[in-house]
Amino acid sequence: MKEVTLKQIAENLGISVTTVSKALKNYTDVSKKTKALVKEEAKKLNYKPNVFAVNLRTKESKTVGLIIPEVVHHFFSSVINGIIEEAERKGYLVIILQSNESYELEKKQVDLLISKRVDGIMISLANDTVDTSHLLEVKEHDIPLVMFDKISKLVQCSKIIINDRQAAYNATKVLIDSGCKKIAHFRGALLPQNSIDRFLGYKKALEDHGLQYDSSMVYMCERVDYEDGRKAAEKLLADKKEVDGIFAITDMAALGAMTVLKEHGIKVPNDISVMGFSNWFLSQAITPALSTIDQPGYEMGRKAFKLLRKEMKAKKAGVVLPPQTKVLDTQVIIRESTK
């Protein structure tokens, strides 16, 4: 089907192309009668604006990129919902890409978004991202960049985060206050800043409450998922550690641990208390319901897009804004998995 143009509408109505364009944009210097005629003709011909022409004229693509480690994770799906809701309200299309926790894939995706000339990029880093040169390239192309959740302190851009260290401290303190004295930590990979901070929060809580830190009580969960939680719990039991509490970096790792404990006849929380992180919807659907840290994914998504749009508008106006870091509040949700 041949594309309908403004010129065709103008010829059908016997008016100028400029009048048609103004009528479709609701300019005040065009009469209501003319606007109605133009819009009726446009609807009859199934006219669609030429997006590429508009983009060239406004120097905007009205498209932003979003790179996340995984789509199926409850936290990231909440972030996506928050971003999309805000973006749609402002007329933006969001290109969502999944890095699968791979630096190489993340790098390719950043290059793709740059080549697509998106107006801005939001990203939560893959676990194995150390080299941030691809993100510096985003800045070199003068594309606004906002990082969230898993960030790099080496990149000078705006960020939306939580205080992971304080949140982990609070989670560990709940276990200590309930009587736990030998608390294992199922931590994330060594690289992401949030993994580092949650580990440091756990360690500081032990030290502040007179409990000795023992590195052998820390178990690595590379992908911080259900299977990682299972494996870490199996190893903990095989090590015959005297443990009365577990603080896991994510709810899924905590759920994996609880499943293994149940299989071995260990009762939660009577024998071992378990604390998760992120407040995934399954955390309150299992038995016993999981105590956790409520991580505001939806709000993080909304604020990430709002901050990105603010920087995109500033760029269009020729204004340079200094990077901002916004820290969102978290709270401990105490349920049945802790005493």
Q: DSSP string covering 172-195, please?
A: HHHHHHTT--SEEEEE--SSSHHH
| Same domain flag for 168 and 290 | yes
**pLDDT tens, residue by residue, 215-261:** 999 999 988 899 999 999 999 999 998 999 999 999 999 999 999 99
Q: Which structure tokens are listed for 175?
A: 């276990």
Report the alpha-carbon distance of residue 79 to residue 66 in Å, rounded: 10
| Same domain flag for 41 and 87 | no
Residue 57 in this model has a pLDDT that exceeds 80: no
The single-letter code of the amino acid at 84 is I
- Residues above pLDDT 90, as percent of the chain: 76
Q: Are 188 and 125 in contact (CB under 8 A)?
A: no
For residue 185, the tally of other CB atoms under 10 A from its CB is: 28
Four-CA torsion 317, 321, 323, 328, nearest 10 degrees: -80
Do the domain assignments include residue 313?
Answer: yes
Do the domain assignments include residue 147?
Answer: yes
| Same domain flag for 186 and 269 | yes
User: Of how many residues is the chain composed?
Assistant: 339
Do the domain assignments include residue 333?
Answer: no
Top-confidence residue, 35 or 2: 35
Report the alpha-carbon distance of residue 339 to residue 271 in Å, rounded: 10
Give the total number of structural domains in the chain.
3
| Same domain flag for 25 and 147 | no
pTM above 0.85, yes or no: no
Q: 71: domain CATH number?
A: 3.40.50.2300
pLDDT band at 191 (very low <50, low <70, confident <90, very high): confident
Q: 51-55, 241-245, 294-298: lowest mean pLDDT where? A: 51-55
Find the mean pLDDT for residues 4-12.
87
| Same domain flag for 151 and 198 | no
Residue 60 in this model has a pLDDT that exceeds 80: no
| Same domain flag for 262 and 144 | no
| Same domain flag for 265 and 317 | no
Do the domain assignments include residue 301?
Answer: yes
Report the alpha-carbon distance of residue 49 to residue 140 in Å, rounded: 32
| Same domain flag for 195 and 305 | no
What domain range is 131 assigned to?
A: 59-161+297-328
Do the domain assignments include residue 133?
Answer: yes
| Same domain flag for 123 and 174 | no
End-to-end CA distance of the chain: 68
**Confidence (pLDDT) at 72:** 73
97-101: Cβ within 8 A, 24+ apart: 97/65, 97/66, 97/67, 97/68, 98/67, 98/68, 98/69, 98/70, 98/71, 99/67, 99/68, 99/69, 99/126, 100/69, 100/70, 100/126, 101/69, 101/70, 101/126, 101/127, 101/128, 101/223
Q: State the chain's mean pLDDT as an integer.
A: 92
Q: What is the DSSP track for 147-158?
A: EESS--TTS-SE
| Same domain flag for 170 and 288 | yes
Do the domain assignments include residue 54?
Answer: no
**pLDDT tens, residue by residue, 142-161:** 999 999 999 998 999 999 99
| Same domain flag for 281 and 302 | no
Do the domain assignments include residue 339?
Answer: no
The single-letter code of the amino acid at 91 is G
Do the domain assignments include residue 27?
Answer: yes
| Same domain flag for 289 and 176 | yes
**pLDDT tens, residue by residue, 158-178:** 999 999 999 999 999 999 999
